[in-house]
Amino acid sequence: MIAETLGIPENKLRIIVKDVGGSFGLKAHIFPEDIIIPLLTMILKRPVKWVEDRRSNISASVQDREQIDYIEVAAKKDGTILGIRNKCISDLGAYGASPYAGAPVQSLTNFLLLGPYKIKNFYAEHIAVVTNKGPEGAVRGPGMMQANFIMERIIDLLARKLNIDPAEIRRKNIVKKEDLPYKPVTLEWVAAAELYYKDVSCYETLERALKTINYEDFKKEQEELRKRGIYRGLGIACLLEPTAFGAKFIEPLGVPGYDAATVKLEPDGKITVLVSSSPHGQSLETTLAQVVADELGVSYEDVVVIYGDTSVTPYGMGTSGSRSGTVGGSTCMLAAKKVKEKVLSLASHLLEARLEDLELKNSKVYVKGLPSKALPLKDIANLALLNSDKLPKGLEAGLEATIRFQCNEPITWANATHIALVDVDIETGQVKILKYLVVEDCGNMINPLVVEGQIHGGVAHGIAQALYEEVIYNEDGQIINPTLMDYLIPTALEIPNIEVIHLITPSTTNPGGFKGLGEGGAIVAPAAIANAVEDALEPFNVKVTELPITPEKIKRWISLHFSY
C-alpha cells in the first residue's frame, strides 16, 4: 500500500520492523504518517523521524467498542432460546482505518453474536454512524467483544426473568460434542458453505469451570454473606473464538490469507528461519523456534528466527487475528519437515541405511538400534552446501525449504469458559475481583507458559475494559482524558491471580492441531465481570447494560432501586 501510494516499485521499498512490543490491533492499520514519513524522506533526501505522544495516540489512533445494541430474545419457559433479534448502532468515528476497519470489523458483532449457543432464529440490523471522533479500527477482539458481551448478558438477564440458574440455561443451549459439526444460522450469511463449528469443547469447558469453582457451594454461601452485608457475585461467560481467518475472509480485503516460512540448515549445523509473521509481544520467536527445533531434532538455542525485513523475509499475511501460532507455526513445521526429508535422504545415502531406519535427534541422524552409527547435522550440511559435487544423483545442493500455508478451513475455532468472583462495596461502588478462573481449549500447545501469558494478558485487558477504560468526549467533540493521568487502566494491584485449566481438542484445520487464543481474554472477561457484578447486586435489582462499570454508575444503579 505504501509503495503504491508513493508510486514506487515494491522492490525499491524496504521496511524493517524491530520488536514493537504489543499491538492489540492498532498496528494492523496504515495511518497517514506511514505514508508521509517516507514521502518526506524522498523529498528531503535525509532521514525523518516520527514521534507520537500519548495524547496524539489516544486522539488519532483507532478506537473500537462504541455500540448501542437493542436486543430481544424469545425463549420457552424452560430456558430454551428460540430466537434473537438485534439492532446494532455502531460509531465508526471519522472513518474506518485502512485497510479493513469500519464495516468489515463492526459486522463481526452480528456475525458472531450467537456464540457457542444453538439458536435457530436470528434477525440482525446494523447501522453504522460516521462521527467526528477518532477512526474506528481493530482493538483486540474487534466486534467480537461486543458480541460476547451482548450474548452473555442477555443469557443472564433471561435466566433472571425465568427464575432459572444462569449455569442451567447455558447447559440447555450450549453446543455439545454430539452437535458437531454445527452450523449456526449467522454463518449461513457467508458464501463459504464449509463454515462450521468443529473441534471445540464448549460444554466440557463450562462443566469443568463450574466444578472447579465449586458452583453449588458458592450459591449457598452467597445467601449467608448477604445477611452480613457482603455483596459477592459470580459471573459466567462462555466463548467461541474465531482465529486464523483464511483466504475466504481475508483476501477480499486485499491481504493474503496465507503465511510463509523459509527454513535453512546452515554449514555449521545451526538453523535459520525466515518468517512472514512478526512478533508483537506474544513470544513468537520462542514458539516458532521450538516448532522448528522439535521437527529437526535440534536444540532450541540452535534456531534463529528472522522477521520483519521486507528484503529478506517472505511475503504473507503476518500477525493479526490470533493466527501466528496456528498459521505461522504450521508453516514453520511444514518447511522444517521438507528440510528433514532432504537431510534423511542424504543421510540414508551416507550411512547406507533405509530411510525408515533413520531418526533425527540431538543434532544427529542415527540408525535406529545402532547409536554408534550416526552423522552430525553439521557434516550433512557441509556436504550439501560445500561439497555439492559429492551429492548423490537427484539431490540438489542446499538444505532449505520455503512453504506457504493457510488453514484448510476459513476459521479455526477455540473456546473457553471464564468465571469471575467479585465483591461489590455498595457504599463506595468499588468492585474487587476475588478470583478469576479460565478453562481454555486452544488445541495443542507449543509452549504452555506462553499460552498462559497470552491468557493472563487478555484477561487483564478485559478487566480494563470492564471496569476502567473509557474515551470521554465533551459536547464539542474534544477528548477530555487524552493522557494516562485521566485515562484509567489497571495496574498489577488490580489484576487478581488468574487460574488457568487446559482442555485439549486438537484442531483439524492445520498439521499442528493448534488454535489461536490471543484475543480471547479481552473478548470474554468484560461479560464475566459484568455478570458477576449484577449477581452481587441482585438484591437491588441492578441490570448491567453498559461498560465500563465505574463506582459512580454502581452508586447510581443502587440509588435507583431505593428511589422506587
Q: Is the peptide bond before 490 cis (omega within 30 degrees of 0)?
A: no
Is the same domain home to 327 and 393?
A: yes
C-alpha torsion angle, residues 30, 36, 39, 44 (rounded to 10): -150
What pTM value is reported for the model? 0.94
Buried b (16+ CB within 10 A) or exposed e, 350-384: ebebeeeebbbeebbbbbeeeeeebbebbebbebb
pLDDT at 295: 95
Instruction: State the average pLDDT over residues 425-444.
Output: 97
Q: How confident is the model at residue 194 (pLDDT cuts 50, 70, 90)?
A: low
Mean pLDDT of 403-410: 90
List pLDDT tens digits, range 214-239. Answer: 999 998 899 999 999 999 999 999 99
| pLDDT tens digits, 411-422 | 999 999 999 999
Please report whether residue 374 resides in a domain.
yes
Q: Do 419 and 529 share a domain, yes or no? A: yes
> Do residues 353 and 431 share a domain?
no
| CATH number of the domain that residue 128 is part of | 3.30.365.10
Task: Decide which of 405, 439, 467 is a domain's last residue.
Answer: 405
- The per-residue pLDDT for 559 is 92
Secondary structure letter of residue 309 according to DSSP: B
pLDDT, mean of residues 482-503: 94
Q: Confidence class of residue 323 from pLDDT cuts 50, 70 and 90? A: confident
User: From CA 292, how far away is CA 262, in angstroms rounded?
Assistant: 11
The one-character DSSP state at 90 is E
What mean pLDDT comes out for the span 170-177? 97
Model pLDDT, residue 425 = 97
* Structural domain contains residue 57: no
Q: What are the tens digits of pLDDT across the range 340-363?
A: 999 999 998 888 899 999 999 999
Q: Are residues 275 and 424 in the same domain?
A: no
Cα Dmax for the chain:
92
Region 320-339: mean pLDDT is 93
Instruction: Out of 6-15, 416-425, 433-442, pick the least confident.
Output: 6-15
Segment 110-129 shows an average pLDDT of: 93
- Terminal Cα distance for the chain, rounded: 59
For residue 471, name the pLDDT band (cuts at 50, 70, 90): very high
Confidence of residue 148 (pLDDT cuts 50, 70, 90): very high
**Predicted pLDDT of residue 35:** 92
**Which among 365, 387, 405 is the end of a domain?**
405
**Nearby residues of 348 by Cβ (< 8 Å), 6 or more positions away:** 354, 355, 358
Same domain, 502 and 355: no
The mean per-residue pLDDT over the stretch 130-153 comes to 92
56 in a domain, yes or no? no
User: Does residue 190 surpass a pLDDT of 70?
Assistant: no
- Find cell 503465511 and name the residue: 259
Question: How large is the average pLDDT for residues 369-382?
Answer: 89
Claim to verify: residue 266 and residue 356 sit in the same structural domain: yes
Cis peptide leading into residue 482 (ω within 30°)? no
pLDDT of residue 366: 93
417 and 399 in a common domain:
no
- What residues make up the domain containing 471? 67-248+408-563
Q: How far apart are CA 476 and CA 42, in angstroms?
A: 38
Q: Considering 386, 405, 424, which residue would you say is the last residue of a domain?
A: 405
Question: Is residue 60 included in any domain, yes or no?
Answer: no
pLDDT score of 193: 47
Q: What is the model's pLDDT at position 73?
A: 97
Task: Supply the pLDDT for residue 564.
Answer: 54
Q: Is residue 553 part of a domain?
A: yes
Residue, of 202 and 391, whose pLDDT is higher = 202
Computed over every residue of the chain, the mean pLDDT equals 91
Please tell me whether residues 90 and 202 are part of one structural domain.
Answer: yes
* CA 221 to chain centroid: 35
Q: What is the percent of the chain with per-residue pLDDT over 90, rounded to a whole number?
A: 69
Q: Cα–Cα distance between 256 and 246 in angstroms, integer? A: 8
pLDDT digits (tens, 9 = 90+) for 543-558: 999 999 999 999 999 9
Specify the higher pLDDT residue, 436 or 484.
Answer: 436
Residue 320, pLDDT score: 79
In this structure, are 321 and 421 located in the same domain? Answer: no
pLDDT band at 107 (very low <50, low <70, confident <90, very high): confident
If asked whether residues 439 and 416 sit together in one domain, one would say yes
**Are 264 and 394 members of one domain?**
yes
| Residue 168 confidence (pLDDT) | 97
Same domain, 164 and 231: yes
Phi-psi group of 239: left, alpha or beta (phi > 0 → left; psi -120 to 50 → alpha; rest → beta): beta
Q: How many domains in the chain? A: 3
